Each structure stands twice: as C-alpha cells, then as structure tokens.
C-alpha cells in the first residue's frame, strides 16, 4: 500500500515541488503530420525559465525540424524599419526551443529540461506551438514551466503577530517549509479556522510573490530583469473572505499595517490586518489568491481585541451641517519670477492686477505687458492665494484634484501640470469644525498650459497657478481670471461652484450613439503583430467571424478597435493611411458584418506620428515636425516616425480629411486619435502659428475640432472620436 501511494503521488506531480510550477499541461498526444497550438494565459518565462517535460516520442526525423515553438506573449504596432519597444517583432518572434534531435525517438519515457534564458527576449509567452512530420508521434505525460528553488518565499519566518493576538490554525493547498501556501499557478485559498472566537482585528503575517505584474524590461542584451516589482499592481489579487458564526460574511483587502494602505508587497514578508465586527464570533477566514500568477505564504494568523489601524486614505473630514460661519481669511497676489537661463524681466514687464467683489465671491484679473524693446521670457504666478479658514491647523483640510485626488490635512507641498495629470481647474481649502472654506476656480476654457501648486504650512494653505510667458516688445499677456468663492466647511460646496462654472461653457455636441451607451467590452487587435484572430495574413483578409467567436470566451465583444490597419511595408503604419491589408472592400465587408452582429468598429489614427517613408511624410514631414528646444526635430524611437505639431495648419487639414474619408469608406463607427489627452509636449518651431515653446494641448483641441468638422461634413455625425488619455476639462 505504501508503494502504491508513492506511485500515485508521483503520477499526480511528476516533478515534485508544486511550489515552483508556474504553468502545467498534462496528457498531450500528437500524431504527425500536423501543427497544434496550445494557448495559455501569459507564462512568465523570466520567472519560470526551466521548461521540463516527460515524454515518449517515435518516428522523429534526424533533421533540425522544429517540434516546439514558443510564441512571445506580446502584440503591438508593427513599424517597418523601426526598433520601438511596442513593436512585437522587435521584442522577439516565435522561438523554436525544441527540435527533433533534442528528443530521444525510441518510444520509451524520457525527461528533458530546456533552459529558456538566452533564448527568449520577451518576459512572457502566450502560446505553445507543436509540429510533427508524417509518421512521427509525441506523447507528453507532464509539461511544466518551473522557477528556481531560491525564489520560494519561505526561507525565513515572517514578522510576529501583536502580543495580544490569539493565534489561529490554518491550512493551505500546499506547504512551504511547513507554512500554509498557495501555488504559483491557479487560484487557491488558505483556510483559517476562527473557532467561534471574537476579535476586532485579524492579523496576518504573510509573504507573497507576484511574478506576472509590474514593469519589467527585457533588453536586446537579454537582461531579464531591470526593474524589481515592489508590490502587486492589482489590489484584488489578494482578498480575504470572512465568515461569521451566524452565517453572515464580508470581503476585505488586506491592510499593510506598516504603511496603513491596502497593498500587498512582493517578496517581502509583512504584517497585514483585517477589521472585524468584534461582537460576532468568527467561524473561518478564507485568504484567497485570486491571480494565476501569484503565490501566498501565511506564517501566522491571530485575533486581537483591539481595533485595526485605519488607512490614510480612509481619514475623512467630519460632516458639516448648518450655514457657513463667515469667510476665511484670504490674501491674493501675483509675482513675476525668472525663467531658468533667462535674465530677470525687472521693469521691462508692467503688471495690472485687479481684485473686485462680485455677488458670488471675488474675481481676480491680471495683465502683464512687455514695455521694453526686447523679447521677454519669465514665469508668472497668478493667482497666489493664501487661505486660512481656521486657527487650528488640524481643522484645515484641502482638496487637490489631480489624478488620484488628494483630500488631506497633511502639511506638505503638492504640484501638478494642467493635463491628464491635473484635469480640473480648481482647488478647495476648508475647515469642517470652523465651518468655513474657500474655493479657487481658474476660469480658463481655452486650456492654456500651467501648473497648479498647493502648500500647507500650519493653518495656512497657499494655492498658486504658474504660467511660462513669452512676450514680444509691446505685447500683453492676459492671464485667465480666477474666482475666489467662500463657502461652508465642506469641499463639495466648492466643487459644486466649479461645476456650475463648467456648465456655462461646456455644451455636448449631441447625444451619445445608442451603441456606445450599451457598450462594455472593447477589444483591440492588430492585423499584423496581433493575436492572429482578426486577420489572416496568408489569405490577406479580415476574419471578423473568427474574432467574434473568440470573443465569446471573454463574455463577448461590444466594440472592435483595430490598430495597424494601415500598415504598409513601404510607407509605414501612420501617415498616408492607405488600406493595403485586405483592401478597402474586404475591410468594409467585415465592418458591416460586425455592425450586423451589433459590434461596431473603431479605426486607429495617430494624432502626432507620421512615418518618414509615407508620401505625406516625404512631402511635409520636415515642415510639420515638432521642434525641440535644441532646434532639432522630435522623433519616435528608431527615427522612422516623426512627431507632427498639432498646431500646424497643413497637418490639421490633411489628417482631418483623411480620417473622415476612411471612416466613410469603410463605415467606421469611431476613430481613435492616439496620444491625445496628455497635453505634455512642447514645440519650439516659429512656423506653426504658435509661440516658440508652446505646449500642445490647445493644438490637440484644434486638431480634434477639425476632425469633428470633417466627419460631420462627410455625413458621419454619429461617428465618435476617442483618445488615449482622459483629458483636462477644457478638452
């Protein structure tokens, strides 16, 4: 019986330690001739770099015929002649890792190890491709991608539990040096017994591995790991399900105690906490590993009678009721400062600053004029408003609405450029206990470049906006007006005032199309360099039928986004936007088939890039190219695609007309303008109709308006425009 049990264990886990297995297949059998593909969720081959399989083979040829090929798990824009990092053919084509001579073709059972480091240049692969000639057979009992034993997160114990915590028993699907653990593949759980005990906090001493998340760079020198992952990028990868004895339950993300935030560190043991209802006995806790590329090791779990620490993000100002108790103390001004590398403007610049009372607060205005005979460049800070809503610094809060809005009372400086980073033009300062607050609204629907700053010191908060100004002799710059509005002790009141201002100038073009209101899943693919489901390169035709069927595995598709449809071996992927792949008739037929199935199509266009080999690139590239501060043109990687300035009138006219013509020709329901919304580039050309050094957000606005006008004129009013980044309010 003991021998039989050992054989059963060996059969279920041929290569032993499941803790090292990142991907596994069993029971494969192939009879040649033929080719077979095994698709998989990304297999992180830098982490599981040993491919090991147990097999039987017969009839294999003596030539170097490929038996197993790994396809890099990347898709992206294919740019002929370029080496940009998004190009999947630069990152690596499918790589043959097993040839016929690598296997013993005698029909007996053998095991082979393949070291993948040095063979692949990508961090992951997503498909195994088997091939056999006529008369050959291959049976694979067990195939695994495996990691190093040194990578297991159980070499030392984790941090101790608090002294008042009562330790609870736990078990997992695997054991790591005796501690409960989950595997590196699959979605498993560690079960913790509550035993009917009560407590306010459950502490977890835990370690985790996240091999498949974070930013990893793979260079042409085969440097596998350039950036260490510090934590999981997906909070939901680890979730705790609490079961109370009365049958009720709840789910929580573990709180990293040391940093008081919901995050799980990578390869670093730490103490985590869950907040419990202290009045209810706990039956059990399920610690869930919800990612196929994560592993958990639980060193200890324990119940404490003390409340769990709160997160920094959960610290909220108290509610406020009743009318405001007066206006906060405020002081408004401006200042002119020296631009780096330039002379101080001094008396060469004269300013006219006004502050006037209005029914709803105060209006601040400023105009600066260059009264010298030379051009002047400088920084202008306007407004600079110091707000003191209460004497007690602990009662003074602020809202700084950048991406990841900051609602806090910490004494620290904050800064963000008006763009996708800081999309709303207001800052609010308030004191809940004193029931006073002030909102600063910058009234600029034109979207000019600027920086927003905030700095709390004691009970005072300074709010500023900074511009970079260039004035010719005699020229005047009028800064956008600012409003200072007093309110009660709740930031929502200031936010509502800002929204009311936006409503005075923002008017939607019209109702969103019905298909857009009901769309949820959008799927992007590339005819070349993509999944191979959207386009058949051998037959040079689109395959919407296969693509839509494949989408059913992901709960269906509501919208198809095609990138790289304009690829040309001689003219690149961006610029001319001719339809060589499949031809216009084939693309139009497939788009119509998608529409019939209730799945509209969007086509990719670049708001900035033009291939230098395209017709328009050869004729106008140097004319429209963005010029950097050093006087040279700006290029995308590989110096194949140049950045065109969206202010350039010729570029606006060409791109808008080409977008409208293609959308009408194939019946596109949407057009995509890549790279738009960020508003972070600058152009120093003197030939594009803008001052040298101007940032490009307003140019993006102008270009997008031209595209809208061209679509409308072409009878495509229902064709929507979508862009890469959530833009600031003016956009």
- Find the distance separating the first CA and the last CA of the chain, reported in whole Å: 74
| Per-residue CA distances from 101 to 63, 119, 133, 141, 576 (Å) | 7, 17, 14, 19, 48
Q: Per-residue pLDDT tens for 486-530?
A: 999 999 999 999 999 999 999 887 888 999 999 999 999 999 888
CA distances from 651 to 45, 626, 658, 662 (A): 43, 11, 10, 16
Task: Tell me the C-alpha distance between 178 and 519, whole Å.
Answer: 49
Question: Is 186 exposed, middle or buried (CB count within 10 Å of its CB: 0-12, 13-18, 19+)?
Answer: middle
Instruction: Report the alpha-carbon distance of residue 410 to residue 393 in Å, rounded.
Output: 9
Find the radius of gyration of the CA atoms of the chain: 31
Share of the chain above pLDDT 70, in %: 92
3-state SS record for 201-219: EEEEEEEEECCCCCCCCCC
Confidence of residue 114 (pLDDT cuts 50, 70, 90): very high
The string over 457-472, giving b where at least 16 C-beta atoms fall within 10 Å of a residue's C-beta and e elsewhere, is eebbbbbbbbbbbbbe
pLDDT tens string 318-355: 888 888 888 899 999 999 999 888 888 999 999 999 99
The candidate with the shortest Cα–Cα distance to 249, out of 262, 240, 261, is: 240
Buried b / exposed e along 110-127 (16+ C-beta atoms within 10 A) = eeeebebeebbbbbbbbb
Q: What global pTM score does this model have?
A: 0.76
Statement: residue 216 has pLDDT above 80: no
Give the helix/strand (H/E) hosting 610: strand 609-611
Return the SS3 of 166: strand
Please, what's the b/e burial string for 298-317 (b: 16 or more CB within 10 A of its CB; e: otherwise)? bbbbbbbeeebeebeeeeeb
Residue of 607, 594, 600, 608 whose CA lies nearest to 636: 608
In this prediction, residue 228 carries a pLDDT of 54
User: CB-hemisphere CA count at 13 Å for 79?
Assistant: 26
pLDDT at 219 over 60: no
Q: How far apart are CA 433 and CA 312, in angstroms?
A: 20
Query: Which pLDDT score is estimated for 5?
Result: 30
What is the pLDDT, as a whole number, of residue 121? 73
Angstrom distances, CA of residue 11 to CA of 8, 108, 573: 5, 17, 51
Is residue 187 within 8 Å of 288, Cβ to Cβ?
yes
The CA angle 570-576-580, to the nearest 5 degrees, is 60
Q: 10 Å Cβ neighbour count for 271?
A: 20
pLDDT (0 to 100) of residue 314: 60
Q: Return phi, psi of residue 656, to 5°.
A: -60, -40
Q: Is 33 left (phi over 0), alpha (psi -120 to 50) or beta?
A: beta
The C-alpha atoms of residue 127 and residue 594 are separated, in whole angstroms, by: 27
Q: Output the six-digit token pair for 527.
A: 């005819």
Question: What does the pLDDT look like over 679-700, one tens digit per residue?
Answer: 889 999 999 999 888 889 999 9
Res 10: pLDDT: 33
Token code pair at residue 633: 């043109």
Tell me: pLDDT of 222 over 70: no
Q: Residue 397: its pLDDT value, please? A: 97
Average pLDDT over the chain, rounded to an integer: 89
pLDDT at 24 over 80: yes
Q: What is the pLDDT of residues 558-574, one digit of tens each?
A: 999 999 999 998 999 99
pLDDT for res 16: 53
State pLDDT tens for residues 577-623. 999 999 999 999 999 999 999 999 999 999 999 999 999 999 999 99
Cα–Cα dist 189/210, whole Å? 16
Q: How confident is the model at residue 226 (pLDDT cuts 50, 70, 90)?
A: very low
What pLDDT score was predicted for residue 212?
Answer: 61
- Fill in the DSSP letter of residue 56: E
Q: How far is CA 93 from the centre of its chain?
A: 25
* pLDDT over 90, % of the chain: 70
What is the average pLDDT across 150-167?
Answer: 86
**pLDDT recorded at residue 2:** 33
Q: How far apart (Å, rounded) are the C-alpha atoms in residues 474 and 375?
A: 9
What's the confidence (pLDDT) of residue 1?
Answer: 33
| pLDDT number for residue 84 | 67
pLDDT of res. 312: 64
Q: What is the mean pLDDT of residues 161-165?
A: 95
């Amino acid at each position: 019986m003991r021998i039989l049990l050992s054989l059963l264990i060996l059969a279920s886990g041929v290569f032993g330690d499941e803790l090292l297995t990142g991907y596994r297949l069993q029971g494969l059998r192939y009879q040649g001739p033929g080719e077979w593909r095994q698709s998989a969720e990304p297999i992180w081959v830098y982490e599981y770099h040993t491919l090991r399989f147990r097999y039987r083979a017969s009839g294999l040829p003596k030539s170097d015929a490929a038996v197993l090929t790994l396809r890099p798990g990347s898709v992206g824009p294919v740019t002929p002649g370029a080496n940009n990092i998004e190009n999947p053919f630069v990152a690596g084509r499918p790589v043959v890792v097993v040839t016929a001579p690598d296997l013993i073709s005698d029909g007996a059972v053998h095991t082979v190890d393949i070291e993948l480091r040095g063979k692949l240049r990508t961090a992951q692969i997503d498909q195994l491709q088997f091939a056999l000639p006529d008369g050959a057979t291959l049976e694979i009992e067990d195939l695994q991608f495996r990691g190093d034993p040194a990578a297991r997160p159980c070499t030392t114990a984790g941090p101790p539990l608090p002294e008042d915590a009562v330790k609870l028993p736990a078990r997992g699907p695997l054991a790591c040096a005796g501690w409960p653990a989950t595997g590196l593949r699959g979605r498993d759980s560690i079960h913790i017994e509550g035993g009917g005990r009560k407590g306010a906090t459950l502490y977890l001493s835990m370690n985790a591995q996240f091999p498949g998340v974070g930013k990893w760079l793979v260079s042409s020198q085969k440097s596998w790991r350039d950036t260490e992952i510090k934590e999981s990028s997906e909070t939901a990868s680890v979730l705790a399900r609490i079961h109370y004895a009365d049958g009720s339950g709840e789910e929580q993300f573990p709180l990293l105690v040391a940093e008081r935030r919901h995050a799980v560190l990578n390869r670093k043991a730490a103490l985590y906490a869950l907040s419990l209802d202290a009045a209810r006995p706990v039956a059990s806790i399920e610690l869930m590993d919800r990612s196929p590329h994560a592993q958990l090791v639980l060193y200890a779990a324990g119940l404490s009678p003390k409340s769990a620490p709160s997160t920094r993000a959960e610290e909220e100002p108290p509610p406020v009721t009743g009318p405001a108790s007066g206006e906060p103390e405020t002081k408004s001004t401006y200042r002119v400062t020296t631009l780096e590398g330039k002379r101080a403007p001094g008396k060469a610049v004269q300013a006219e600053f006004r502050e006037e009372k209005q029914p709803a607060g105060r209006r601040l205005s400023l105009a600066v004029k260059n009264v010298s005979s030379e051009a002047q460049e400088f920084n202008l800070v306007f407004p600079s408003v110091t707000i003191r809503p209460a004497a007690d610094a602990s009662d003074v809060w602020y809202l700084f609405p950048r991406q990841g809005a900051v609602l806090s009372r910490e004494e620290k400086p904050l800064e963000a450029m008006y763009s996708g980073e800081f999309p709303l033009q207001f800052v609010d300062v308030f004191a809940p206990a004193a029931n006073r607050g002030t909102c600063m609204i910058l009234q600029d629907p034109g979207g000019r470049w600027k920086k927003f700053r905030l700095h709390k010191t004691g009970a005072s908060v300074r709010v500023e906006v900074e511009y970079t100004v260039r004035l010719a002799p005699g020229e005047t710059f009028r800064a956008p007006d600012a409003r200072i509005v007093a309110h009660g002790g709740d930031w929502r009141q200031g936010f509502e005032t800002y929204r009311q201002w936006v409503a005075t100038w923002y008017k939607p073009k019209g109702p969103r199309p019905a298909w857009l209101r009901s769309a949820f899943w959008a799927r992007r693919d590339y005819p070349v360099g993509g999944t191979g489901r959207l386009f058949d390169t051998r037959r040079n035709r689109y395959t919407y039928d296969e693509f839509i069927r494949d989408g059913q595995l992901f709960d269906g598709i509501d919208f198809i986004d095609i990138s790289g449809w304009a690829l040309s071996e001689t003219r690149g992927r961006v610029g001319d936007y001719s339809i060589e792949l499949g031809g216009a008739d084939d693309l139009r037929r497939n788009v119509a088939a998608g529409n019939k199935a209730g799945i509209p199509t969007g086509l990719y266009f670049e708001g900035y890039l033009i291939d230098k080999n395209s017709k328009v690139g050869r004729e106008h590239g140097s004319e429209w190219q963005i010029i950097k501060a050093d006087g040279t043109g700006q290029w995308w990687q590989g110096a194949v695609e140049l950045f065109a300035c969206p202010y350039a009138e010729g570029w606006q006219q060409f791109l808008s007309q080409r977008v409208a013509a293609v959308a009408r020709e194939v019946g596109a329901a949407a057009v995509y303008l890549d790279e738009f919304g960020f508003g972070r580039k600058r152009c120093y050309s003197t030939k594009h109709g803008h001052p040298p050094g101007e940032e490009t957000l307003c140019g993006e606005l102008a270009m997008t308006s031209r595209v809208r006008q061209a679509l409308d004129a072409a009878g495509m009013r229902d064709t929507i425009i979508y862009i890469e980044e959530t833009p600031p309010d003016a956009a």
